[in-house]
Amino acid sequence: MVHTPRSARRGALLVSTAAVLGLLAGCGNGSGEDVRSDPPASSPGTAAPARETPSPSASAPAASSAPVRTAPPAPPASADPPRTTAPSGGTTAAPATPAGGSRCHTSELRASVGRNDPGAGQENFPVVLTNTSGRICTLRGYPGAAFVTASGGRLGADPRRTPGTPVTVTVRPGQSAWAGLTFSNPQVSGARAATPAGLLVTPPDERDPLRVAWPGGPVPVSGTASSARLTVLSPGTGP
């Protein structure tokens, strides 16, 4: 009978025991038991696993985009006032309305005395005011009048106003308005008479007179029926 050393038998026993344990471990893994592994250890100096951050579109609803309203386009700037084509091919500005014309001033007028139209012992002279300016102006009411000598002195009383209804006369450049100057013939009335050198004519609402030569001969300056009279202004140069 062969004797095996004790140390050899102990080593063989250990090997057998290890083999049996390995066989049991292999059978245990195949039996469906849950094998849990420890979480990975983090070594110093290494970054922790990154966590996934949800995107903003996934966590919050997208903002609704309302339609953008734009202001309507501004209307085009107003054009110049319409112009009328002149026959010559040029252009002339639209005619001004008479309502826009202011009254005629003395410096814009010329005075004259028209032809006498006598009747029934009366002398009737048209006193005419003509627009010499380049604009439309207006005359309304009574002109002023006074007979004067060559040196400018007054002869007799100023003519009185004959009752009438004043109207506004629109006077374009070159046009005229007239008022009637009437007095009794001195030879018929018996009034004292004198022959003036001129007549001062003052436009309505003006202070400066226009002087015109007097062509009508003697006029009554005092006594019975010595008053001369003026009518309101009317369009034109006489009756």
DSSP alpha helix (H) spans, the chain: 6-30, 56-59, 186-189
Q: Given pLDDT bands bounded at 50, 70 and 90, which one contains residue 229?
A: very high
Position 118 scores a pLDDT of 93
How close are the terminal C-alpha atoms of the chain, in Å? 184
- pLDDT tens for each residue of 162-209: 999 999 999 999 999 999 999 999 888 888 999 999 999 999 999 999
Measure the CA–CA gap between 207 and 137, rounded to whole angstroms: 17
Mean pLDDT score of the chain, rounded to an integer? 74
Beta-ladder partners of 144: 202
Q: Is residue 94 over pLDDT 60?
A: no
Task: Among 89-93, 95-99, 196-200, name the one with the lowest average pLDDT.
Answer: 89-93
> φ and ψ at 178, to 5 degrees?
-135, 155
Position 155 scores a pLDDT of 92
In terms of DSSP bridges, do strands 229-230 and 160-161 run parallel, antiparallel, or are they unpaired?
parallel
Beta-ladder partners of 182: 124, 229
- pLDDT tens for each residue of 30-55: 444 443 444 444 444 444 444 444 44
Q: Is residue 83 over pLDDT 60?
A: no
Position 71 scores a pLDDT of 52
Place of tokens 């070594």: 43
Q: Which of 69-78, 88-97, 199-208 has the highest mean pLDDT?
A: 199-208
For residue 230, count other CB atoms closer than 10 A to its CB. 21
Q: 233 with 204: CB under 8 angstroms? A: yes
> φ and ψ at 226, to 5 degrees?
-95, -5
Position 222 scores a pLDDT of 87
Position 212 scores a pLDDT of 97
DSSP state of 99: G
DSSP state of 180: E
